Amino acid sequence: MIDFPEIKRLTDEEFKRFAALIYQESGIFLKDTKITLLSNRLRKRLHALKLDTFSQYYDYIYALTDRTQEIEALIDVVSTNETYFFRNERQFEALTKHCFEDIAGKKKDGKALRIWSAGCSTGEEPYTLAICVLENARFFPNWKIEIIATDIAPSVLEFARRGVYTGRRIEKVPPEILEKYFTPDGENREQYRINDEARKLVTFQYLNLFKNPYPEKLDVVFCRNVMIYFDKEHQKKLVAGFYRVLMQGGYLFIGHSETLHSISDDFTYEKILDSPVYVPRKR
Ligand SMILES: C[S@@+](CC[C@H](N)C(=O)[O-])C[C@H]1O[C@@H](n2cnc3c(N)ncnc32)[C@H](O)[C@@H]1O
């Protein structure tokens, strides 16, 4: 079902103008085949602003003295936010059964663990990371733990901060973990609220990967299923940025359908417990 069907599809010309604006502001690259998808997503914005046509919306954006907020709202409706707890669980196994011990063993100076979930969407990935840390707390006695979770879409960050999940989002959470780290919530107790113990390890913040500075001195970066939305030029910028902020001996996790092949030579590829993991080369 299409929301607001009274608003017609983008024309080719309108599509080009919006695709260029979205690309310039977020690095998200929309092929011509995405015209229906983009029309459907933009309709929500037109409806909210009581506008009838996409051209009116485009002119509205350019007439604003300060476009920041509307650009945020535009990217918010355009971004794809699919995610769930323990997505691609083998990667979390690699992290907990290899990387954690390795990081803990190598760190002689600061007793701090810093993990970045870049493109965290509605929070399932960073909260899964928090649960992994808590389940493996023996490696990090008295360490300062920080999980920095960032995204470009304000609405997903708001959802993430609320920390309440149902259905497919929590389907892969093992029952004992659900019991331990969530509290049933809602009228029929069909929703699950993430507990404070995991929540307090995670900080959510707005961050556009191409316009804002990155967090630094990181031990682990998770940037999964984000690169696929960018063209090669932006993928290269992104991965060069990760190389700058990852500590020697740190780890980069990307999505299963993503690769660093022909994107970066700064990392070596390792297969840990069947999962592709990238390690920064010596500087
Ligand atoms: C498909 S979700 C991935 C969620 C999670 N990492 C996972 O793998 O389950 C992609 C996320 O990337 C975010 N994103 C897209 N472009 C971005 C940009 N330029 N800066 C920051 N986040 C961006 C989107 O808002 C979206 O929430």
On average, the pLDDT of the chain sits at 95
Q: pLDDT-based confidence at 283, cuts 50/70/90?
A: confident
State mean pLDDT over 66-70.
Answer: 97
pLDDT at 135: 98
Whether residue 1 is predicted with pLDDT greater than 70 in this model: the reply is no
pLDDT at 189: 80
Task: Select from 226, 228, 229 the residue to mutate for testing ligand 1; criterion: most ligand atoms less than 8 Å from CB.
Answer: 226
Nearest atom, ligand 1, residue 223 CA: 6
pLDDT, tens digit, 9 for 90 and up, residues 15-59: 999 999 999 999 999 999 999 999 999 999 999 999 999 999 999
Residue 28 Cα to ligand 1 midpoint, Å, equals 10
Residue 154 Cα to ligand 1 midpoint, Å, equals 11
State mean pLDDT over 190-200.
Answer: 96
- Among 82, 268, 114, residue whose Cα is nearest residue 201: 114
Whether residue 244 is predicted with pLDDT greater than 90 in this model: the reply is yes
Domain locations in the chain as residue ranges:
12-78, 89-280
Long-range contacts of 231-236 (CB under 8 A, 24+ apart): 231/27, 231/29, 232/262, 232/263, 234/27, 234/29, 234/210, 235/263, 236/263, 236/264
* Burial category of 242 from C-beta neighbours within 10 Å (exposed 0-12, middle 13-18, buried 19 and up): buried
Whether residue 280 is predicted with pLDDT greater than 80 in this model: the reply is yes
State mean pLDDT over 112-130.
Answer: 98
In sequence order, what are the residues at sequence separation of 6 or more whose Cβ sits closer than 8 angstroms to the Cβ of residue 89? 172
pTM: 0.97
* Between 188 and 177, residue with greater pLDDT: 177
State mean pLDDT over 247-255.
Answer: 97
Whether residue 109 is predicted with pLDDT greater than 90 in this model: the reply is no
Superfamily of domain 89-280: Vaccinia Virus protein VP39 (3.40.50.150)
**What CATH code would you report for 12-78?**
1.10.155.10
| Topology agreement, domain 12-78 and domain 89-280 | no
Give the C-alpha separation, 168 to 186, whole Å.
17
Give the C-alpha separation, 131 to 134, whole Å.
5
In sequence order, what are the residues at sequence separation of 6 or more whose Cβ sits closer than 8 angstroms to the Cβ of residue 265? 281
